[in-house]
Amino acid sequence: MNTPAVYLDHAATTDMTPEALAAITAQFATTGNPSSLHTAGRRANRVVDDARIAIATAAGAHPSELIFTSGGTESDNLALKGLYWNRVKANPEARVILVAGIEHHAVLDTVTWLVEHEGAELCWMPVDADGVLDLDAVRALVQQHHEHIALGTLMWANNEVGTVQPVTQFATLLAEFGIPAHSDAVQAFGAVHTNFADSKLAAMSISAHKIGGPVGIGGLLVRRDVTLMPVQHGGGHERKMRSGTLNAAAAAGFAAAATHVTAHRERESQRLSGLREYAIQEILRLIPEAVLNGPRDVENQGTRLPGNLHFTFPECEGDSLLFVLDMLGIASSTGSACTAGVPQPSHVLLSMGRDARSARSVQRFTMGHRTTREDVDALLEALPQAYERARKAGMAADESSIHTAGTGFTR
Ligand code: PLP
């Protein structure tokens, strides 16, 4: 197996659960297009229908509300573009999109594209130092500008610092003014309580590979009274909102993971938050200058993702620490982008009011279903020496000799 000894990057992607692997493998061995009318097609269609019911149930939605997509990125694109185009068609004056700076690039780059190509305007919603939405400020914005607002979007949980947002209050506020709300629940679904029906959202994005399902399939929950203008045209699948032959095998794997993660969510949340609190206490004891980013959820009240640890390690380039830890057999993440070899500050930390230097000195450790206490102990053993070595290397802005390879994407 090529996986590092200690894998603490489950927010980037996590192992498939045995149930998901068995389900997808069984289906890949059979043929049939779910749209075909013959026996093989109807059999594949039943697999998709069963998967749809299981995933919708896990998400607190009606099966007809689930639109299958290729993943979280596509779901965010479809929700934001589809909602925006529909709203502007109905009211050309409503062009403002409410968005916060802490969003994933799948949301930020989509709304920026709508500004550059479709005449949208962005209204930035403020967050506090923990990255939590300032609902009072949003209420004031909505009361003042509601005729011009096309939609609002608020991620359910942040992929870098793990902050869980007041999504239901946000969607309820917008609903009072007839404004549709979307949430990117890619990190939250399966980790914290996310019930689509109760949320008042118009649309919610989820992704299989973050919960133990396969990469390459996701979902967008779209309320039954909401229609989206499609991004992709073709055979009219998925309520005419997302054309393309359905992937029955991947849907079966997604469903198996969704069912498993929902059945075990509460117990797993207690287990992971226990590991998280142990790790936080120990890291702050071993490295007193380290700063925890995001809410401190000691009692596991649901303000932070149970498996998320995110620290600023002062005067230490995040990428350098990542590479030293990797050499010591520990997979972690900075969560922030690296452009043309130059480490970039995390846009999330900048939005939370940190300066550019400390927003580059960050490290994220995310735990998942196969993380054990031994994994955390291995991190605790390696971290002080790794920090010491990475800090000696200095910050890239000070010493231009440090070059790092990066993708430019935030995961
Ligand atoms: N939104 C959030 C919050 C994420 O963490 C990710 C994962 O990278 C995505 C969207 C994109 O999801 P996917 O990898 O399924 O396209």
Residue 240 backbone zone (phi > 0: left; psi -120 to 50: alpha; other: beta): left
State both tokens at 367.
């735990």
Query: Are 213 and 297 found together in one domain?
Result: no
CATH number at residue 312: 3.90.1150.10
* Ligand 1 pocket, CB under 6 A: 71-73, 76, 104, 106, 155, 159, 184, 186-187, 207, 209, 218, 411
Q: How much is the average pLDDT of 20-46?
A: 96
Query: Are 319 and 206 found together in one domain?
Result: no
Look at residues 236, 262, 288 and tell me which one is the last residue of a structural domain: 262
Q: Whose CA is nearest to atom 12 of ligand 1?
A: 72
Q: How does residue 402 score in pLDDT terms, banded at 50, 70 and 90?
A: very low
Q: Whose CA is nearest to atom 7 of ligand 1?
A: 411
Domains of the chain: total: 2
Query: Are 129 and 207 found together in one domain?
Result: yes
Query: Are 272 and 246 found together in one domain?
Result: no
pTM score: 0.94
* 358-376 pLDDT tens trace: 999 999 999 999 999 999 9
Cβ contact 151:80 at 8 Å = yes
Query: Are 54 and 31 found together in one domain?
Result: yes
Instruction: State in Å: Cα 361 to ligand 1 middle.
Output: 22
Q: Which atom of ligand 1 is nearest to the CA of 76?
A: 10
Q: Whose CA is nearest to atom 13 of ligand 1?
A: 72
Least confident of 309-313, 332-336, 378-382: 332-336
Q: How does residue 405 score in pLDDT terms, banded at 50, 70 and 90?
A: very low
Q: How does residue 403 score in pLDDT terms, banded at 50, 70 and 90?
A: very low
Domain that holds residue 230: 18-262
State both tokens at 288.
């007193």
Instruction: State in Å: Cα 14 to ligand 1 middle.
Output: 12
Query: Are 241 and 290 found together in one domain?
Result: no
Kindly name the residue from 338, 349, 362, 367 that is annotated as catalytic.
338
Task: Examine the pLDDT at 410 and tell me if it is beyond 70.
Answer: no
> Best substitution site from 9, 77, 104, 348 to test ligand 1's pocket, by max atoms within 8 Å of Cβ?
104
Query: Are 44 and 64 found together in one domain?
Result: yes
Query: Are 229 and 293 found together in one domain?
Result: no
- Known catalytic residue at 123: no
Query: Are 258 and 269 found together in one domain?
Result: no
Instruction: State in Å: Cα 218 to ligand 1 middle.
Output: 10
pLDDT score recorded for residue 411: 46
Query: Are 346 and 324 found together in one domain?
Result: yes
Residues in the chain: 411
CATH number at residue 109: 3.40.640.10
Q: How much is the average pLDDT of 385-404?
A: 69
Query: Are 172 and 187 found together in one domain?
Result: yes
Query: Are 252 and 324 found together in one domain?
Result: no
Instruction: State in Å: Cα 104 to ligand 1 middle.
Output: 7
* 155-209 pLDDT tens trace: 999 999 999 999 999 999 999 999 999 999 999 999 999 999 999 999 999 999 9
Q: Which amino acid is at 6?
A: V
* 210-225 pLDDT tens trace: 999 999 999 999 999 9
Q: How does residue 400 score in pLDDT terms, banded at 50, 70 and 90?
A: very low
